[in-house]
Amino acid sequence: MKYNQALTYAASRPNYLGGQGLIYPLKSSTFRAMMADAKGAFGSGVAIGAVFAEYQALGVEIYQGTTGGCQ
Maximum separation of any 2 CA atoms in the chain, in Å: 71
Instruction: Say if residue 70's pLDDT is above 70.
Output: no
Q: Structure pTM?
A: 0.47
Say if residue 6 is exposed, middle or buried (CB neighbours under 10 Å; 0-12, 13-18, 19+): buried
List C-alpha distances in Å: 65 to 3, 22, 28, 51, 61.
43, 58, 56, 21, 6
Across residues 38-61, what is the average pLDDT? 71
Q: Note the pLDDT of residue 6.
A: 81
